[in-house]
Amino acid sequence: MYPRISDLFRDLFGFNLPIPIYSFGAMVAIAFLTAAWLSRKELDRLYAEGRLPAVRIPVKETKGKRKRKATEKASPGALMGSITVIAVVGGFAGAKVFHILEHLGEFFRDPLGMLFSSGGFTFYGGLIVAAAGIAWYVRKQGLPVWTVADALAPGLMLAYGIGRLGCHLAGDGDWGVAADLAARPGWLPEWLWAETYPNNILGRDLSAAPVYPTSIYEFVAAALLFALLWRLRKHPFLSGWLFSVYLFLDGLERFLIEQIRVNVRFDLFGLEVTQAEVIAVALMAAGVFGMIRTWKRRETVEGAPSALRPSPAS
């Protein structure tokens, strides 16, 4: 494992980078950039089809020696920079808060240590808080929230998988339970069935009981689900249908992986569950509800008043 990419550079090229670059942070940055690029392409496509209105973005105009602030119409894709910032800030804040809620005992023992730790993030906490922030911003810009949500869905799925690669490289504890070595299929490489995470960032020795590399499984699942969502992105149904599919698939994937993943369990009505399982079930239910509500073909162009729809040549 290489918790720091700078260590990989040292081993491969024989020199030390001036500052340490952590694998998890680097992969999360790549995940956000990938999601932003894919989402901008989708927003631009929906704008060109007339399903999204134009937005006004600030520009600087020079008149003689004086500069004045002005705005111009543009595709909603121009807002992806701001949306990404909201996603980053809200995502990290929400992920940290939900992790603390899941580990309250550790937090009370060392609150500052947990708050300022470079690890300890819960994906669903980040998703919920970031989604709320983005929905508020999108509505403020006069855009239909569910149409924008459809545009973001495929990129979100792929970003999740890329982020899990960061967890794998860092060895940050997002791994599975001890693997059943006797059950490994002969055709499957051992590293895909049981991993010891040498040099993991937590400093744990797993050599006596290798674990399932669940982060790799989640990356593969996310990549396949991204391909499915990307293929379905031109669906004929009402806005919000694709995002509902995303919610259901994301919840299903996480619920299944939780069955072999190490996580904190608590009692809920006599059942031992994890926080992720509860949220995953809620997401699946919301996804099914959303798909039912939007299971109707679009009769007219949605979301864009005629005065704001782009012309076919735009």
Distance CA 306, CA 97 (A): 43
Distance CA 24, CA 245 (A): 28
Residues facing 190 on adjacent strands: none
Residue 196 is classified by DSSP as: -
Distance CA 76, CA 63 (A): 27
State the number of CA atoms in the 13 A half-sphere of 82 facing the CB: 15
Distance CA 121, CA 84 (A): 18
In the block, which residue shows the tokens 């949220």?
Answer: 279
One pLDDT digit (tens) per residue for the chain, 314 residues: 778 887 877 888 887 777 778 888 889 899 999 999 999 999 999 999 999 999 988 877 666 555 667 788 899 999 999 999 999 998 778 877 877 776 667 767 767 666 656 555 666 677 888 899 999 999 999 999 999 999 999 999 999 999 999 999 988 888 999 999 999 999 999 999 999 999 888 889 999 999 999 999 999 999 999 999 999 999 999 999 999 999 999 999 999 999 999 988 888 888 889 888 999 999 999 999 999 999 998 864 444 444 344 443 33
Angle between helices 241-257 and 275-293 (to 10 degrees): 150
Residues facing 268 on adjacent strands: 271
If you write DSSP's letter for every residue of 57-109 in order, what string do you get?
EEEEEEETTEEEEEEEEE-GGGGHHHHHHHHHHHHHHHHHHHHHHHTHHHHHH
Q: What is the pTM of this model?
A: 0.84
Would you say 223 and 165 are in contact if contact means Cβ atoms under 8 Å apart? no
